[in-house]
Structure 1
């Protein structure tokens, strides 16, 4: 049985929204193991002088929560 956790992250790119999503996955993969999927929630952009200067993607990242049953009882007082 697995437990999946979902967090919200925002990626940025000067190239486009797809690259902004890829940046989220790349960065999240460095600290989260077993990412199972992403859901792109919003796509926005920063505009300066009539030009898009930064693409932003708000992304929900789903990953498997690791099971730590070997830690049960550690740090608890016993009678």
Structure 2
């Protein structure tokens, strides 16, 4: 049987780190999407407040297997 994979784009942020923002994206999406297989970091950015990095933001693509 062949597998069907789908890719979705997710945005996430964290006040801690890029790594934490990526984990948040995967863990939050996993609550409603099953069989996540990989994450591709598409873009990283940050917001600045009072001269310091305030939020770490990521734009990721998640690949998951579709039930057929």
TM-score of the pair, normalised by structure 1: 0.82
CA distance in 2 between counterparts of 1:21 and 1:10 reads 9
Name stretches of at least 5 consecutive residues in structure 1 with no aligned partner.
68-79
Match of 1:5 in 2: 6
- Structure 2 counterpart SS, 1:18: helix
CA shift, 1:49, in A, is 1.5
1:32 Cα deviation after fit: 0.6
CA-based RMSD of the aligned residues comes to: 0.6
1:16 deviates by 0.5
Secondary structure of the residue aligned to 1:22 is helix
The alignment status of 1:31 with 2:37, answered yes or no, reads: no
Q: Which has the higher contact order (CA 8 A, sep 6+)?
A: 2
How many correspondences in the alignment? Answer: 67
Q: Choose 1 or 2 for highest CA Rg.
A: 1
Aligned to 2:19: 18
